[in-house]
Amino acid sequence: MAIHFHEEDLPSGDLFASGPIAVDTEAMGLHPGRDRLCLVQLSDGSGDEHLVRFSPGSDYQAPNLKRLLADPARLKLYHFARFDVAIMHYYLQIMAAPLYCTRTASRLIRTYTDRHGLKELVKELLGQDLNKQQQTSDWGAPEINDAQRDYAASDVRYLHQLKEKLDVRLEREGRTALAQACFDFLPHRALLDLAGWDEQDIFAHV
């Protein structure tokens, strides 16, 4: 297992095996446009993770990264896809779909709890403990230290395994089709967020 660090884009070449690719992002905050996209993390589930760091003033060209993320034949795995898809659309100008969201799947079948964070999900389903100490660190710093790199990599390290576990439960509870409908809608939900409806439920009666 290795963590590979890249500046501004992925290198050319076949870095990833075929199949789903796990994706996560780190930013200066939770508001695309105000808060800068700093890092995109990726893994094909084979044990290595790739981190792409964007510097202040980046033009976010990243053609190799964009080609991978926008590939309509490649399923992207997220935990809380709504934010990641939105901020990548804002800065990279691509729609990183089709997608699967482990947080959404968790909310559909782990209805016995309100704890759907990645740390809790990995602990229950995979028996692994995630260190979340770097969650609120400065991702725009000139140097990304080893603790930050390991934290960022861990956010994509387990998504393939989680999907397998969650799919079994979705099938068991008869909610696979409902989950897929939610995944299909999430890119539109992200666009609604970017357009100003992030705090409103447009389907609500009032």
How many Å apart are CA 102 and CA 151, to the nearest integer? Answer: 18
pLDDT at residue 18, as a whole number:
95
pLDDT at residue 137, as a whole number:
87
Which ranges of the chain would DSSP assign to H, the alpha helix?
63-69, 81-92, 102-109, 118-126, 146-157, 159-172, 176-192
**What are the CA-CA distances from residue 13 to residues 16, 26, 53, 65, 84 (Å)?**
9, 24, 18, 11, 24
pLDDT at residue 162, as a whole number:
98
pLDDT at residue 166, as a whole number:
98
Mean per-residue pLDDT pooled into runs of 10, the chain (206 residues):
96 95 97 95 97 97 98 98 98 98 98 96 95 78 93 96 98 98 98 95 90
- If one looks up domain 3-197 in CATH, what number appears? 3.30.420.10
Tokens coding 7: 């500046």
pLDDT at residue 36, as a whole number:
97
How many Å apart are CA 169 and CA 131, to the nearest integer? Answer: 26
pLDDT at residue 133, as a whole number:
66
CB atoms near residue 139 (< 10 Å): 21
